[in-house]
Amino acid sequence: MVFGAEKTHWAFKPVANPKPPKVHDKAWPLGDLDRFILNRLEQKGLRPVAESDRFTWRRRVSFDLTGLPPTVEEIRVFEADQSPQACEKVVDRLLASQAFGERWARHWLDLVGYADQIGTSNNVFAEHAWRYRDYLIDAYNNDKPFDRFIREQIAGDLLPHKTVEERAANLVATGFLVLGDIEIVEADKAKLHVDIVDQQLQKTGKAFLGMSIGCARCHDHKFDPITQGDYYAMAGFFRGTSTVYKTKRGVWSDVNVIELPETEAQKAERDKHEKAHADRLAKLKGERETARKRKAELDDQLKKKDLPKEERGKLTKERDEKAGCIVKLDKEITHAEFFAPSVPRAHGVRDVEKPGDMKITIRGNPRALGKVVPRGFLHVASSARPEIPQDQSGRHELADWVAGRDNPLTARVAVNRTWQKLFGEGLVRTVDYFGLPGERPSHPALLDFLADRFMREGWSQKRLIRSLVLSRTYRLSSAHDERNHATDPDNRLLWRMNRFRLDAEALRDAMIFTSGKLKPSTGGPALPLEFQENVSNIDPKNVNPPSFSLRKWRPGQEFERTIYLPIIRSAAQPGPAELRNVFDFAQPSEFTGQRAITAVPTQALFLMNSPEVKKHVAALAARMKKETADDAKRLEYLWLSLLNRPITAQEQREAAAFLKQAGEGAWSELCHALLASNEFLMRL
Amino acid sequence: MNTTQLSRRQLLQSAACGFGGLALSGMVAGMARGASPLAVRAPHFAPRAKRVIFLFMAGGPSQGDLFAPKDYITQNHGKPIASPVGDDGQLRVGVAKFLPMAPVAPVRPRGQSGLMLSDLLPNMAGVADELCMLRAMVSDNKAHAPAALQFHTGHIAEARPSMGSWISYGLGTENENLPSFITIHPPGDVRTYSASFLPAMHQGTPLRVPGNDREPAIKNLRDPDAKTEAQRRRLNFLQGMNQRLLKRVKTDAQMEGIIQSFELAFRMQAETPGLVDLSGESKETQEMYGIGDSKTDRNGRACLMARRLSEAGVRFVQVTIDGWDHHGDIRTALPNSAGGADKPIAGLIRDLKRRGLLKDTLVVWSGEFGRTYWSQDLSGTSPIAKHGREHQQESFCTLLAGGGVKPGLVHGETDDHGYRPVSGKVHLHDLHATLLHLLGFDHEQLNYRHAGRDFRLTDIFGNVVHDIIA
């Protein structure tokens, strides 16, 4: 452990409020952010490259804010709008779109280890996990202040509330703490509890504070000033938190299910569903009764010894049919009863009956206990001791500390995460780790400036994003410059925009979007559990928990945005979500703020040969054919749709020649080529 | 040269940059460093083994039935005994009473060594003298998913690099045209063959033995509807665009990586089928693996494929054979599972031996854990003849062969209940350390820096088991 680091390490110092520096080229900056960037470049004698063309900017901002490309229509509108507010108008529209939340919620899910599955064993479905995903989408779209966002996710169940909707959202938000990979089949329940505490602490530490606290479970941290005492002081908040309960089946536990309060309208809606459900159930049971009676009759008749052969055959056939019918109805009834309409529910936490401080567990062994450590915060970041009500876990106090303006880490970590999504690399490149061996910020003053402003402006994510993408820096082209490159090959000083390959969601969504098939979604369950064939073990006598097996999808589900598709841990991502498996999707058992970007031939094979891509190609080609009969116009349209820029004269010639050579299916071939091209795969 | 066998040279010719495109997948990183990240690297010291074949018996085979019968258990078959487990905090389901259950078939000494093997494994009994049996293996979790994860990665919960990835990272590939880690019929949990934070080209490449002509061995390996020349034309057009863009931006490692990956992928789809086509193998060889017999065909093909891949230079080949999770009616179920695996595995060991490969190929046979010597009855009402056995990670059996381990050796013993090790305990971390040792690595030195600290396969644990090394 490094003593004294709490005083010297940049990330533990209070967030400063630095003044934007002076720059020589006064015309270049569009705002304060640009002054910080230009100042560093000028110090090194570098000049930023020129702005990118408007088409590139339009595509870039669209993907970054919504994970989708612009439409041909939107591109034309923007091209025609020469007013000084043209960019602002675009950004405001993107920020106001539903697609914005669908994009940014996914970034957050990477930090949660989210899946529609509980744990990894036996395909146990997390029936209500989707509510947390929808909560995130709403939070981003409603620009929920980030400090509030933090408080709800750590302690939503303990927060005061004014309305039913607010209470429900608060409870759903605690899904943050329970939707990771929890090993509910652990047979040692004391160990399960301390392991969950550990996971919650690690997740909270990483997502909000950019610290790895987990190491201190067994020993003082080797590199950071986090002691074992710190670990157990923080762990105490989660020790008093109930996450799972033991089910009646085998050794299995399950994640808590919390009932949510309903509005009057929701209740009225549920009444309707319940009525319809009761009617359906009565009908099914009636049918089953009729079938049973008839079968009993037939069984009786078949007992007669002197039946003619033909008659016996006929009766046997009918009896077997009825028997089959009864089995089918049994299943249908069991399924309907299991998934009966109910009050809305979510996976979340509550305080245990007797919360309290935690004892050190030696090497994580719940039966080898050390001394009690009073609940408290990381001493590097706070000297305060929380006053915790006796009957509470203290998560409320923890949330207040994490989301407090005095916390030196939270706002810096949050701002840096947002920066990384928009510029490709964070100002601190180790986005999840602000500890001593982590990277130092490339622009420490800018990071503090942004963090301070973020807090002063009410922790508004949208305002932050808006200011970033409307900067000159964000407008820069990603073009090469020999001189700059020689001095700063990694582009740490942002003399150009970084280029990067789109992530799995953006790639798949863009394919569906451009082929015109994208189906808007209003959220809801990802797993289609309403189909009996997707569910097994719902019989309560079973020793294993209810589980899913994805055999059947909802009509149109394959055309929904990727964030709405089920995420599972126990196998490769299924069905239409298959693309996630090859394009560096975040493992749903890990917490990570930045995904790897790899280039492996399995990706090329996927783009060349997979039935999934071929399906999108066929739809895209069909759409192009419908658009216009004129080949040249069609090519223009294709380029605008996929690459979001006009086709060049050379490309027109080459594409025309290609179409001629390719003969039958030529348009599909061309669409296929473009969907696999670097310009489509990347955001420049 | 045996003409039915694919030689290294042929393979190099036919698969130049083929299959191994996968292996070169880290080219982005590689180009940045100016060397292929899969270039052969020397280990820390002279290795005993150059490659590993890991036969993963998913589900947890019962060691008491297959390898290590206990007199006390056999003598007390069906009679309730006092709890042998103490207060360990574990819930036990279907174990209302501890009922010792004798092996479901006779277990006898085999070969010169006298290693004990069940009558359910007649073919493996024939290669008993090649086997090194660890009878006091220990791991840390009782549930399938975490236990399997730990067996592959050393960790029960967090995603860490798989041992195949570590070995690929440590040694590079013997054959630039092949991935260095291939997993045949992989377990469902993709983390078992994930490179995690190691560079992506060290991840396991899943492969399945094709069931029909349209189904490729590697997913999306080809498009059965596409003509090669049309695909090439499409690729030319696409690469033309890619090159123009690259020229415009001058230098971009990601773009270059993607451009290369397409060329490699294109050649792979042409070349790989030859490597995974088993029809060139002699009838006698196929028969030795049980190919053609419906009971053993799938596993036989997988094991033969493993030999071909190892021979061609793949560092780590895994074959997963599942169906060992016998919670009930083990008397019926175990003979089926054993029958499907016995001949293919024995065939593999024999084949490696006669080709001179066994001496530097380490074969590992293991489940993620074993099973209890007492019975389990989930229904609570069945007679003991219908009982099964519960998971047991407190002790189980792992078999090793070749690659510098002592053949015909039994290492370790458990108590009368077959529950706790009494001697020769080998924790999973120790097995990992030993495996790396045989490959020429000090397990404490094979590190990778990630998130601010050095990680290794054995975390902060592991002792090499020198007693089993020849």
A6 has a pLDDT exceeding 70: no
Residue range B160-179, pLDDT digits in tens: 999 999 999 999 877 766 77
Asked whether residue A311 falls in the same domain as residue A442, the answer is: no
Q: Which domain holds residue A667?
A: 598-684
B5 has a pLDDT exceeding 50: no
Residues of A in contact with B252 (CB under 8 A): 499
Q: B171-185 burial, b for 16+ CB within 10 Å, e for fewer?
A: bbbbbbbbbbbbbbb
**Lowest mean pLDDT segment, chosen from A376-385, A499-508, B47-56:** A376-385
Asked whether residue A285 falls in the same domain as residue A418, the answer is: no
Asked whether residue A155 falls in the same domain as residue A237, the answer is: yes
Query: In terms of CA atoms, which chain A residue is nearest residue B140?
Result: A186
Residues of A in contact with B222 (CB under 8 A): 609
Alpha helices by DSSP H, listed for A470-528, are 472-475, 482-487, 504-514
Residues of B in contact with A651 (CB under 8 A): 241
Alpha carbon distance B421, A604 (integer Å)? 50
**How would residue B269 be classed by pLDDT, with cut points 50, 70 and 90?**
confident
Residue A636: inside a domain, yes or no?
yes
| Contacts A–B by Cβ distance under 8 A | 217
Alpha carbon distance B66, B108 (integer Å)? 10
Of the candidates B145, B242, B245, the beta carbon closest to that of A121 is on B145
Distance from CA of B166 to the nearest CA of A (A): 18
Alpha carbon distance A394, A387 (integer Å)? 8
Asked whether residue A323 falls in the same domain as residue A367, the answer is: no
Asked whether residue A353 falls in the same domain as residue A448, the answer is: no
- For CA atoms B312, B315, B321, B324, give the dihedral sign: positive
Choose from B142, B261, B394, B461 for mutation: most chain A CBs within 10 A.
Answer: B261
A251 has a pLDDT exceeding 60: yes
Asked whether residue A252 falls in the same domain as residue A280, the answer is: no
Residues of B in contact with A11 (CB under 8 A): none
pLDDT at position A439: 84
pLDDT at position B42: 86
Residues of B in contact with A584 (CB under 8 A): 200
Contact A191, B88 (CB under 8 A): no
Residues of A in contact with B241 (CB under 8 A): 651, 673-674, 677-679
**How would residue B38 be classed by pLDDT, with cut points 50, 70 and 90?**
low
Q: What is the CATH architecture of B8-468?
A: 3-Layer(aba) Sandwich (3.40)
Alpha carbon distance A680, A63 (integer Å)? 11
Contact B235, B226 (CB under 8 A): no
Asked whether residue A253 falls in the same domain as residue A382, the answer is: yes
pLDDT at position A379: 85
Q: Do B452 and A223 touch (CB under 8 A)?
A: yes
Q: Do A437 and B452 touch (CB under 8 A)?
A: yes
Among B299, B404, B289, B400, residue whose Cα is nearest residue B348: B289
Q: Could you give the angle at the alpha carbon of A652 between the alpha carbons of A625 and A56, nearest 5°?
A: 90
Residue reference for tokens 């092996």: B103
Choose from A598, A644, A660, A661 for mutation: most chain B CBs within 10 A.
Answer: A598
Strands (E), B323-457: 361-366, 370-376, 388-392, 396-401, 409-411, 413-414, 421-423, 426-427, 448-450, 453-455
Alpha carbon distance A249, A285 (integer Å)? 27
B220: left (phi over 0), alpha (psi -120 to 50) or beta: left
B6 has a pLDDT exceeding 90: no
pLDDT at position B40: 78
pLDDT at position A665: 92
B3 has a pLDDT exceeding 70: no
Distance from CA of B220 to the nearest CA of A (A): 5
Residue A6: inside a domain, yes or no?
no
Residue range A112-139, pLDDT digits in tens: 999 999 999 999 999 999 999 999 999 9
Query: HSE (CB half, 13 Å, CA atoms) of B33?
Result: 11
Asked whether residue A242 falls in the same domain as residue A370, the answer is: yes
Inform me whether the C-beta atom of residue A245 falls under 8 Å from chain B C-beta atoms.
no
Alpha carbon distance B456, B444 (integer Å)? 7
Q: Do A605 and B231 touch (CB under 8 A)?
A: no
Distance from CA of B258 to the nearest CA of A (A): 5
Q: Do A599 and B28 touch (CB under 8 A)?
A: yes
Mean of all residue pLDDT scores within chain B:
88
Distance from CA of B162 to the nearest CA of A (A): 14
Of the candidates A181, A187, A600, the beta carbon closest to that of B261 is on A600
Residue range A276-326, pLDDT digits in tens: 999 999 999 999 999 999 999 999 999 988 889 999 999 999 999 999 999
Query: In terms of CA atoms, which chain B residue is nearest residue A501?
Result: B254
pTM given for the model: 0.89
pLDDT at position B177: 66
Mean of all residue pLDDT scores within chain A:
94
A381 has a pLDDT exceeding 70: yes
Name the residue with higher pLDDT: B234 or B175.
B234
pLDDT at position B39: 72
A245 has a pLDDT exceeding 90: yes
A443 has a pLDDT exceeding 50: yes
Q: What is the CA radius of gyration of chain B?
A: 23
In sequence order, what DSSP letters do the residues of A297-348 get, joined into one string?
Answer: HHHHHHH-TT--HHHHHHHHHHHHHHHHHHHHHHHHHHHHHHT---S-EEE-
Residue range B90-103: mean pLDDT, rounded: 93
Residue range B312-360, pLDDT digits in tens: 889 999 999 999 999 999 999 999 999 999 999 999 999 999 999 999 9
pLDDT at position B32: 33
Of the candidates B92, B191, B218, the beta carbon closest to that of A589 is on B191
pLDDT at position B189: 87
Residue reference for tokens 């799938």: B298
Contact A179, A144 (CB under 8 A): no
Q: A416-440 burial, b for 16+ CB within 10 Å, e for fewer?
A: bbbbbbbbbbbbbbbbbbbbbebbe
pLDDT at position B36: 57
Q: Do B93 and A251 touch (CB under 8 A)?
A: yes
**CA dist B17 to B36, B178, B230, Å?**
13, 8, 21
Residue range A203-234, pLDDT digits in tens: 999 999 999 888 788 777 777 888 889 999 99
Of the candidates B21, B199, B258, the beta carbon closest to that of A678 is on B258
Number of domains forming the structure of chain A: 4
Residue range A416-434, pLDDT digits in tens: 999 999 999 999 999 999 9
Contact A563, A105 (CB under 8 A): yes
Alpha carbon distance B258, A681 (integer Å)? 10
Q: Do A183 and B233 touch (CB under 8 A)?
A: no
Contact A86, A79 (CB under 8 A): no
Q: Residue B405: helix, strand or coil by DSSP?
A: strand
Contact A441, A83 (CB under 8 A): no
pLDDT at position B16: 29
Q: Do A187 and B28 touch (CB under 8 A)?
A: no
Distance from CA of B453 to the nearest CA of A (A): 8
Residue A113: inside a domain, yes or no?
no
pLDDT at position B26: 34
B290 has a pLDDT exceeding 50: yes
**Single residue among A500, A522, A553 that ends a domain in this structure:** A500
Alpha carbon distance B6, B275 (integer Å)? 8
Q: Length of chain A in residues, anyone?
A: 684
Longest dimension (CA), chain B: 81
Of the candidates B200, B233, B266, the beta carbon closest to that of A600 is on B200
Residue range A344-372, pLDDT digits in tens: 999 999 999 999 999 999 877 888 899 99
pLDDT at position B25: 33
Q: Do B222 and A609 touch (CB under 8 A)?
A: yes
Of the candidates A191, A432, A607, the beta carbon closest to that of B89 is on A191
Residue range A241-259: mean pLDDT, rounded: 95
Residues of A in contact with B200 (CB under 8 A): 584, 596, 598, 600
Query: In terms of CA atoms, which chain B residue is nearest residue A601?
Result: B261
State the CB neighbour count (10 A cutoff) for residue B92: 18
Distance from CA of B186 to the nearest CA of A (A): 10
Q: Do B254 and A597 touch (CB under 8 A)?
A: yes
Residue range A645-657: mean pLDDT, rounded: 97
Q: Do B378 and A543 touch (CB under 8 A)?
A: yes
Asked whether residue A232 falls in the same domain as residue A359, the answer is: yes
Choose from B155, B156, B254 for mutation: most chain A CBs within 10 A.
Answer: B254
pLDDT at position A3: 54
Inform me whether the C-beta atom of residue A489 falls under 8 Å from chain B C-beta atoms.
no
Inform me whether the C-beta atom of residue A55 falls under 8 Å from chain B C-beta atoms.
no
pLDDT at position A94: 98
State the CB neighbour count (10 A cutoff) for residue A289: 12
Asked whether residue A426 falls in the same domain as residue A441, the answer is: yes
Q: A496-527 burial, b for 16+ CB within 10 Å, e for fewer?
A: bbbbbbbbbbbbbbbbbbbbbbbeebebebbb
Residue A94: inside a domain, yes or no?
no
Q: Length of chain B in residues, anyone?
A: 470
Name the residue with higher pLDDT: A2 or A165.
A165
Distance from CA of A369 to the nearest CA of B (A): 15
Asked whether residue A251 falls in the same domain as residue A357, the answer is: yes
**Single residue among A357, A379, A402 that ends a domain in this structure:** A402
**How would residue A586 be classed by pLDDT, with cut points 50, 70 and 90?**
very high
pLDDT at position B13: 32
The tokens for A616 are 């999108």
pLDDT at position A392: 94
Inform me whether the C-beta atom of residue A597 falls under 8 Å from chain B C-beta atoms.
yes
Window A:249-268, CB contacts with B under 8 Å? 250-251
pLDDT at position A18: 97
Bridge partners of A510, per DSSP, are none
**What letter does residue A572 receive in the DSSP assignment?**
S
Report the run of H or E that residue A442 belongs to, with start and end.
Answer: none
**Lowest mean pLDDT segment, chosen from A84-88, A618-622, B174-178, B317-321:** B174-178
How much of chain A, in percent, has pLDDT values that exceed 70? 99
Alpha carbon distance A39, A664 (integer Å)? 57
Residue A534: inside a domain, yes or no?
no
Residue range B345-400, pLDDT digits in tens: 999 999 999 999 999 999 999 999 999 999 999 988 999 999 999 999 999 999 99
Strands (E), B97-218: 107-110, 115-118, 131-138, 181-184, 205-207
Distance from CA of A161 to the nearest CA of B (A): 36
Asked whether residue A675 falls in the same domain as residue A635, the answer is: yes
Q: Which long-range contacts (CB under 8 A, 24 or more apart) does A334-337 make?
A: A334/A538, A334/A539, A335/A532, A335/A535, A335/A538, A336/A277, A336/A280, A336/A281, A336/A284, A337/A281
Q: Do A669 and B230 touch (CB under 8 A)?
A: yes
Q: Do B265 and A605 touch (CB under 8 A)?
A: yes
Residues of B in contact with A658 (CB under 8 A): 233, 237
